[in-house]
Structure 1
Amino acid sequence: MDQTSDINPSIASTSPTPASTQVPTSSAPIKRRAPIACRRCRRMRSKCIHDKNNGPCQGCIESGKPDDCFYPGRGESTEDRQFRHPRQRADRKPNGKTPRVNKENTVSPSLTTSSNTLDWDGDELALLTDVETVKEGVRAFTQHFFQLGFIATEDFLLQVEREPGKIGAFLLVSILSISARFNRNYEAAQKAVQSYLDCAEKLALRELYQQPVTLERCQAFFLLSIAQHGMGDTSRSNINMGIAISMATEMRLHREETFKLITEDSTREARIRAESARRTLPVLLAAGDITTLLPCDEDEFRRGEFQVKPRAALVGTPPADLNPTLATLSSRSLFATLIQTHHIWGIVARRAVANKKSSYPNDTGSDYAKIANQLAEFEDNLPKNQAYDDLFLAGYRKKNEDLAYLSACATLRLSNIVLRKAYLGDVIRSLKGHHSGLGVHILHTITNELFDNVYHLYRQIHAQFGDSDRPLEEMVGSQMAAFCVYSCGLLLSYLVKYPGLYQNSESKKYEPPKQMYDRIIGILEEAQAIWPLASSWLNGLKSWMGGPDTGGVYEGVFMADGVRSSQVLDFLG
């Protein structure tokens, strides 16, 4: 029995490969190519010049990719022909069945297409350009956005190269609708993003009711939701996130028994696919419904190893209730910690959106005290190399996991900040001599804890994004990272407006608040070039900062567009 079917059939299945388009016959003489051509030359529609021993052809050698030169045997699948470079003939007119794809002259042309919309009919893979474009887009996606996720990069790239039909155009275009943002040419990037997003939305309508539900389809709806959210289209984003969650539960990705059939005897491909399915776990589900244990580390995922050591569990799930040590495993992966951190963030964010505020935060039985203790205990039990340190950040950067590491650390700081920000209005009123209803000592403690976390968050942001010599490719990757930057800037604006608000030894280690605020504004201006949603955060922050002192607390963008919409991103790194 094929080991790829060891787990839930809907996980093991893949998207159907589009049928080949029939070529009309012609009475004109047909110019035939050499009887044997390598896969790369077939895709590029170029003449394959090679010796009789089928060594690397001249084209692959000249392109610097002799190892990619592969000759299919007789009877072998010609699926690669369905995914090849489009013909570039000046006299060729579109026939309405395949889209026209024009190249843009940009800094990174292979991540762009020029059409605002791409029409398609039948051959889904014709929506994409050449294979190198897709591979470059996947690399950008995993390097600058989704460093820890459900894609085993090298295996995925190999599948893009050889069997793109098994992945499906929907997932590939959804990936490109995110990764195209990281083009250094702003106008070209935005044009490409809209083009890929239009394609993905069209495909979504057709994919919605396809059966069986597949892992690739679920992942594609998930990524489409993220792309739409980044464009500020929260309504469609929420709908597609709901579809992704429904598909995940239909495949029972939230139940550990789904993965029980994967053993050490299963094939490497089956183990990688099962781990990819586990990593598609939607944290937005209620913890009591989730029995799936958390992901392994990246090296084990890439190698397709069978997990023999205990897996970590999410707090509040049945496995963690049965064995609490699973929630604090010192051997847990960075991805497991990232999911746990965003789970706590979800608790804090939903509380903030509901405007919940404990009247007596110093009461040990209050919600405030319970969440504050949960955050403190979680941080105390972090594996040593997952607590924030500049040296650890440098190490994770070498492993291409720095954005994920920073996301876990920054989201933990953000959770502490949002929890305490509910009392900022009381602190300001007390500063102006008005009675707030809370004791001076309590307010002083909350204020110090709040801005201690703000300064620590700034330190992390500055270490990652504050270097003026930083390459343009290393921009703010995810919406959640941009939101952390925005939140830091918002709290720093209070220190600028109210100089006596925070006087602690921690503040003496840093430059003046106005200088820090200006640095944050510069990073946000960079982020809005990638995520249009960040523009509303930036404009709101500037308006609040430049407006008159009304003695109030700025809530508009922070609550409506920040905390609320970021719940969609609860497990992104």
Structure 2
Amino acid sequence: MANVDERPPIKLKRNSVACKRCRRLRSKCTHESAIPPCASCKEAGGDIAAECFFPRRGEDSTDREYRIKRPRLGEREESQTSEAGSVRTPRVSAEPNSNLNLLPPINEVVESCQLFMNLFFQLGFIPKAVFIERLSSAPETIPEFLLLCILSISARFTPSLISRYGHGDGIRASQVFMHRANELVPAEMYKPSLERVQAFFILSVAEWGHADGDRSFMHMGIAVRMAGMLRLHREETYRLPHNSSTDDVIKAEVARRSFWMVADQANLQAGINAPAAFCLTDITALLPSEEHDFAFGVNPSKRAALVGTRAEIISPELASLPERSLFATLIQTHSLWRQVASQACQWEIDLPSNPNGTSTSLRGQSGDGNSIPVWSVESEYTRLASALEKFEMELPPKHRWSLQNLRGYRAESLDLAYLSSVMVLRLSNIVIRRVYLPCIAAAFNLVDHSGRPAVFQQEENHVDINLSSQTSELQLNSAPASYWQDMSNDIFQNVRELYEQFDAYFPLRPQGFPPILVFCVYICGSLASYLCKWPQLCPSIATQAQIILYRALDILTELQHVWPKARSWQNSLAMSASLFPRPDVSSFASSAASYSHTFSPSLVASAQPQSQPIAASTDPGSGGHSGMLYKLAFVASQRQPDHPHPQGPLDNHVMTTGRGFHTTHNFSEISNGHDTLVQPQAPVMETFFANSFETELNSFLHDDILYSGSGPGRGISEAAPSHVDYSYI
């Protein structure tokens, strides 16, 4: 046996050269005599292995430009001295793209990113000029994951990408990039950086619009956690020395805007199943600056604060700062929407159990356990309604709704951002009152004195719907005089203004139209359908209800090809519209000018005699618990209008496209239009005029009602299947 000492010594020899990719990533490059591919590139996949390249000795290595240089001893001491007393700014991912194989040609990426910034996120965290310049000159310095997430939204609006990846279908093109971005998620989710916060946020928005609520919620959660780890919710993160450069100011503003975009989207998706992303009292960060300050790198002397945050508690005057930015107003508006949506989503708990508006929920009780009526100054409704009114009164003049303001913001390419503020404000004013529509129906005698739809009186053997009998002693007239009449007028006045807003914008709109605005269009059309059936709810607007309904339907019909989320809303609205004839097309030319003519005082005055007078009932009445929503819908589906239309055949085409209506209609029952929530409560109900409000709202916030495969919204399951064929990628 040979002696161990006689063996030749093992020579530890370092590879003389590394491939270009391993150099850039500063990883070990294992190879045989510099013959590509190396082991690392081979493991990364076929495309990367094919690009493995070993530069020759003396050849320029541009990949070294992106390495983080280690400071020398003198530089390190100087850096430590300058950073003493300052707070570390959020780190940005310094890792360049490992490859650009998942992306289209760079000119198409630039085109799509420009559309993303100009037509979708007009108020965002990307410094437009700097980003496009960097993307055009050095695309490898921008993380591939971030670019894929951007294209997940903007591909649907980009003609070149629609042609290349979607074969004419924008949704299909976007799905390609969502699929590619999701493949990178496992490698990206454990490395917190500012650009990853941005990427996961954008990916969540794209998935939300594609009705993939579960993925959207999870990816938004990753963005929230990363933002928290980077302390983006703290104002001290953004503190800069007085002599800071323009670039430093822009970078700090990018981080600030990234945080508020994440928090803002969480507000839009708010509801009973979506807890707050950040506790308001933990937030000390002030709101973003004006767009021109962002573009020029100017740090404003004053910033606004969000109500409820630590910054606002310390300085309450910052909540209503007259010179606050449009971005700040947008975030404040969406924060109010969160409160309204969270309240409305709990209709099973908080919906008044009778036409008096009193609630049996804990939140609707006073300290001694007595129920608080909705008209009480102590009720949650009164608090939110007052907050909305106060907020609107304190808005800067340029942030209020007007056609002139819309034209001005359109000239600055901020019209979509402006509409996202004014339309959501109108939506909040509608939704906060919409939950009480059953009480309004009772006050207008659309529900009989026993608290059930009048149609039930005609069916002696009707199945019991388990209405509460304990409320029979409560009187309908205990509400203040004309209270329900005023609330009904408020609802439809807000519906009218919301219609004015999207009707003025849509004809000249860019292709970008966020899901929140699509939902505004749907809610507007949905309430117009109630007014078509019951014109006595608001006679001054009832004569134009069909115009509003069909205008909303036509817009949803067009937008369903951009956002799958809109397909269920279009289907639902088409079913409601099938009961009413399409008005003369010339009567609603799509412009703001035609709107002012449509709602001219002369037309309203001439229409008054045709409508029933509004008179609140003074007879005793009682109502069921949360069943009033489905009772309201049941009455609407059964009762005929006071001015019957001629009978005629129903065009089946309207159920799928919302177009092609005849001028005469058969007001027959709609089969298979059951709401998923009311079925267990009303098994005898064979028709459903419109989805309950809880269904409408939760379908928007959580994707867990209309997309279940039953009811008017079942078409969404076809638009957003759980498995997508990616063989064409």
Q: Shorter-chain TM-score: what band?
A: 0.7 to 0.9
Q: Is the 8 A contact 2:427 2:520 kept in 1?
A: yes
Q: Is the 8 A contact 2:111 2:158 kept in 1?
A: no
* Partner AA of 1:551 in structure 2: V
The answer for the alignment partner of 2:125 in structure 1 is: 150
Q: Alpha-carbon deviation of 1:123?
A: 3.3
The answer for the alignment partner of 2:429 in structure 1 is: 416
The answer for the alignment partner of 1:500 in structure 2 is: 536
Q: Does residue 529 of the first structure (1) align with residue 561 of the second (2)?
A: yes
Quickly say closer, same or farther: Cα 1:334–1:126, change in 2 above 3 A.
same
Give the Cα separation in 2 of the matches to 1:557 and 1:546: 20
The answer for the alignment partner of 1:554 in structure 2 is: 691
Q: Is the 8 A contact 2:524 2:548 kept in 1?
A: no
Q: Alpha-carbon deviation of 1:430?
A: 2.8
Secondary structure at the counterpart of residue 279 of structure 1: helix
Secondary structure at the counterpart of residue 539 of structure 2: coil
The answer for the alignment partner of 2:376 in structure 1 is: 363
Give the Cα separation in 2 of the matches to 1:460 and 1:76: 56
Secondary structure at the counterpart of residue 551 of structure 1: helix
Once the two structures are superposed, what CA deviation does each residue of 1:135-166 show, in whole Å capped at 9, x if it has no partner? 11111111111000101111111111233333
The answer for the alignment partner of 2:220 in structure 1 is: 241
The answer for the alignment partner of 1:314 in structure 2 is: 306
Q: Alpha-carbon deviation of 1:414?
A: 0.3
Give the Cα separation in 1 of the matches to 2:545 and 2:292: 41
Give the Cα separation in 2 of the matches to 1:483 and 1:80: 47
Give the Cα separation in 1 of the matches to 2:341 and 2:35: 62
2:495 to 454, 459, 469: 454
Quickly say closer, same or farther: Cα 1:80–1:484, change in 2 above 3 A.
farther
Give the Cα separation in 2 of the matches to 1:18 and 1:354: 51
The answer for the alignment partner of 1:84 in structure 2 is: none
1:123 to 84, 98, 105: 98
Give the Cα separation in 1 of the matches to 2:243 and 2:696: 50
Q: Does residue 263 of the first structure (1) align with residue 241 of the second (2)?
A: yes
Quickly say closer, same or farther: Cα 1:79–1:331, change in 2 above 3 A.
farther
TM-score for the superposition, normalised by structure 1: 0.74
Quickly say closer, same or farther: Cα 1:18–1:144, change in 2 above 3 A.
farther
Q: Alpha-carbon deviation of 1:176?
A: 0.5
Give the Cα separation in 2 of the matches to 1:17 and 1:178: 30
Quickly say closer, same or farther: Cα 1:462–1:17, change in 2 above 3 A.
farther
* Partner AA of 2:204 in structure 1: S
The answer for the alignment partner of 1:162 in structure 2 is: 137
1:207 to 174, 188, 211: 188
1:346 to 327, 338, 350: 338
Q: Alpha-carbon deviation of 1:475?
A: 3.1
- More deviation, 200-209/326-335: 200-209
Percent identity over the alignment is 37
Once the two structures are superposed, what CA deviation does each residue of 1:427-477 show, in whole Å capped at 9, x if it has no partner? 123322535754362111110111111101001011101x3xx37xx1351
* Partner AA of 1:288 in structure 2: T
Give the Cα separation in 2 of the matches to 1:257 and 1:349: 31
Q: Alpha-carbon deviation of 1:540?
A: 2.1
Give the Cα separation in 2 of the matches to 1:264 and 1:151: 24
Give the Cα separation in 1 of the matches to 2:34 and 2:496: 68
1:252 to 231, 244, 257: 231
* Partner AA of 1:157 in structure 2: I
Quickly say closer, same or farther: Cα 1:433–1:563, change in 2 above 3 A.
same
Quickly say closer, same or farther: Cα 1:480–1:513, change in 2 above 3 A.
same
1:224-235 to structure 2, matched below 5 A, reads: 224-235=203-214
Quickly say closer, same or farther: Cα 1:485–1:398, change in 2 above 3 A.
same
The answer for the alignment partner of 1:464 in structure 2 is: 505
Q: Does residue 475 of the first structure (1) align with residue 511 of the second (2)?
A: yes
Quickly say closer, same or farther: Cα 1:226–1:169, change in 2 above 3 A.
same
1:383 to 396, 413, 434: 396
The answer for the alignment partner of 2:443 in structure 1 is: 430
The answer for the alignment partner of 1:134 in structure 2 is: 109
1:509-548 to structure 2, matched below 5 A, reads: 512-546=544-578
Q: Is the 8 A contact 1:476 1:482 kept in 2?
A: no
The answer for the alignment partner of 1:191 in structure 2 is: 172
The answer for the alignment partner of 2:296 in structure 1 is: 303
Q: Is the 8 A contact 2:205 2:216 kept in 1?
A: yes
Give the Cα separation in 2 of the matches to 1:403 and 1:246: 29
Give the Cα separation in 2 of the matches to 1:422 and 1:144: 33
* Partner AA of 2:574 in structure 1: K
Give the Cα separation in 2 of the matches to 1:517 and 1:350: 27
Once the two structures are superposed, what CA deviation does each residue of 1:258-292 show, in whole Å capped at 9, x if it has no partner? 112x2342222222111111012232322112110
The answer for the alignment partner of 1:486 in structure 2 is: 522
Q: Does residue 280 of the first structure (1) align with residue 418 of the second (2)?
A: no
Q: Alpha-carbon deviation of 1:524?
A: 0.8
Q: Alpha-carbon deviation of 1:75?
A: 6.0
Q: Alpha-carbon deviation of 1:227?
A: 0.8
Once the two structures are superposed, what CA deviation does each residue of 1:10-47 show, in whole Å capped at 9, x if it has no partner? xxxxxx96689999879xxxxxxxxxxxxxxxxxxxxx
TM-score for the superposition, normalised by structure 2: 0.58
Give the Cα separation in 1 of the matches to 2:565 and 2:432: 23
Secondary structure at the counterpart of residue 374 of structure 2: coil
Give the Cα separation in 2 of the matches to 1:347 and 1:125: 43
Once the two structures are superposed, what CA deviation does each residue of 1:519-572 show, in whole Å capped at 9, x if it has no partner? 111111121111101111111222344479622673264122124469xxxxxx
* Partner AA of 1:250 in structure 2: M
Once the two structures are superposed, what CA deviation does each residue of 1:318-344 show, in whole Å capped at 9, x if it has no partner? 111111110000000000000000000
Quickly say closer, same or farther: Cα 1:152–1:266, change in 2 above 3 A.
same
Give the Cα separation in 2 of the matches to 1:561 and 1:527: 17
Quickly say closer, same or farther: Cα 1:483–1:124, change in 2 above 3 A.
farther
The answer for the alignment partner of 2:651 in structure 1 is: none
Q: Is the 8 A contact 1:171 1:220 kept in 2?
A: yes
Once the two structures are superposed, what CA deviation does each residue of 1:82-136 show, in whole Å capped at 9, x if it has no partner? xxxxxxxxxxxxxxxxxxxxxxxxxxxxxxxxxxxxxxxx934221122211111
Give the Cα separation in 2 of the matches to 1:543 and 1:412: 27
Q: Is the 8 A contact 1:221 1:243 kept in 2?
A: yes
* Partner AA of 2:520 in structure 1: C
Measured on the aligned residues, the alpha-carbon RMSD in Å equals 2.8
Give the Cα separation in 2 of the matches to 1:562 and 1:129: 32
Give the Cα separation in 2 of the matches to 1:329 and 1:337: 10
The answer for the alignment partner of 2:611 in structure 1 is: none
Quickly say closer, same or farther: Cα 1:183–1:79, change in 2 above 3 A.
farther
Once the two structures are superposed, what CA deviation does each residue of 1:331-390 show, in whole Å capped at 9, x if it has no partner? 000000000000000000111112234622211111100100000000000001100000
